[in-house]
A and B are shown apart, each in its own frame.
Chain A
């Protein structure tokens, strides 16, 4: 097993007891909840007559079902309205802080945690959402959990967990212009596969990660789960501390030095031992586009789609299903594939830096007439900041709809959906069959800048070609 890693240190400092099952009872430092996976959990604790054990370490928001066009209440969708009512009544009943529309801090749970400084190095974090791995960017162990586990955290602030192995993933060197954190994470998944991370926590490092902003690190950690790793993290460093300083829930000036000393002490040791180490070169990474139905079915934007027999025998069925569903053929170029919808947003790429990069490409250009395009900021704060910078105008002038904060068409639990056989260029995280709200709908994942390039051309394009001429 790994030794001296951040994973080991955080695990050991949060271990309460070895359980009779062999699992470890792990204290959870921050519990984030949202409307979709919490109502049943609240019902379960109410039924047992239990309270929320640590209401001051529990924070709630709404993101999955909220409409992004009109947020007037009651919502048009009666089920969404009922779900909204459930979380409103539960947070009141159990005394949980709630970031609702009125707060100015509502947004996708994995965007608002870091944004408000709730997410801090050395913590354990849990949320009833698989993309909780996002918070690992700060050097936390952040677990996506199911509703019955949400119940456990509400009732006890603990989880019964099995220890993971730790794989160190180094990406060294400098990313080429037009290549983003999204491409790095898609590239890693392409190389290690969607099952490669089962049983592992991923520790990301190397000079490419050292150079990344916090928002870029969040994009990579967000998709650790897509590679099968429940947890992904980056060791905290000066970039992390600079990001946190001054945020609402971050330690104040009087506590700052103590906090930084503690955070530094939680990073992996120089001589830490890992269960596995993998190395990649940043220079090898091109803008990546997925062509299939799992996030590892992807190619560089200038590559041709792989032949079926280039896959191992046990992958052939999935590959054939992918080609059939996507209506694409082996050997064809991904570049030039027509798109119907362009979506920018999600917990992967709905932060301010994502919108800035997308706006740079959109500025002075027009979305193709054949494309329905929209931008969904990840939080109310991101929306406000973008509007302050005039990004909303750039997007609107280019022909993108500018929306309110939420998960939107990443998982299509709100009115934002693909129709029929439509195909999207999407900055989200999953290209699963039916994911974006239509069972015949199709998704190609890529960076926000690449989504803009596709929206403008009406077909999958290499954003670097636009960057040369802008």
Chain B
């Protein structure tokens, strides 16, 4: 498993609080039985009109093409637990999300895919989104070891990230199956002690 210590790239702002996972990926795309095509669908209904023409969403603006850091506001990813939401962002090209706050299931799903969810204050996010809009070519570097976001090589701000999520990413243990499998004997022991498992 890859260790994820730094993510470098341009940032794309998607503004608004409480952007739910139905808005990130409409439920009709969940009927596909693989995640393969999900990169085509993030924010689909906010990006395209009935004829499929782009409506000017940041994901379609030329200045943000090739961005890999997503800048969002409060409670991003609330609602449905659909992993299709972070899958669609990841497959579109997003490698890190910085926001004011995240819904928990969404943040957990991101970590499982190796996508850090870093948090900053409201004022800092306002400045960050403004900078990304005014100077979309700005090169950011999200450093998970230092918990610092750099812009154009200079320290821009310190961010927070849930410590266990950070540990998983920087130590390359974010794909948790092998960690959990390693404790299989102990799992059986814990299960055996639970009255409802042993049949009371």
Contact = CB atoms under 8 A, between A and B. Distances in A.
A13 to B, nearest CB: 7
A162 B164 contact: yes
A122 to B, nearest CB: 7
A432 B79 contact: yes
B2 interface: no
Interface centre among B74, B83, B167 (most CB of A within 10 A): B83
Contact of A37 (B74, B83, B108, B165): B83
B33 A22 contact: no
Contacts of B105: 130, 144-146, 225, 230
A309 to B, nearest CB: 17
Contact of A39 (B33, B184, B196, B200): B33
B200 A262 contact: yes
A366 to B, nearest CB: 32
Interface in A6-60: 13-17, 19-23, 25, 27, 29, 36-37, 39-40, 43, 48, 50, 53-54, 57
Interface residues of A, number: 83
A426 to B, nearest CB: 14
A19 B30 CA distance: 32
Interface size class of B (residues with CB under 8 A): 35 or more
A156 interface: yes
Contacts of A64: 30
A181 B26 CA distance: 29
A294 B16 CA distance: 12
A22 B194 CA distance: 24
Contact of B78 (A19, A50, A145, A228): A228
Contact of A148 (B83, B184, B196): B83
Contacts of A148: 83, 109, 112-113, 175
7 contacts: A21-B168, A79-B31, A146-B112, A195-B78, A314-B73, A434-B22, A434-B45
Given A14-B190, A27-B191, A37-B83, 5 more contacts: A16-B190, A148-B109, A195-B18, A317-B15, A434-B23
Interface of B: 15-18, 20, 22-23, 26-28, 30-35, 45, 73-75, 78-84, 86, 101-105, 108-109, 112-113, 122, 162-165, 167-168, 171, 173, 175-177, 179-181, 183-184, 186-187, 190-191, 193-197, 199-200
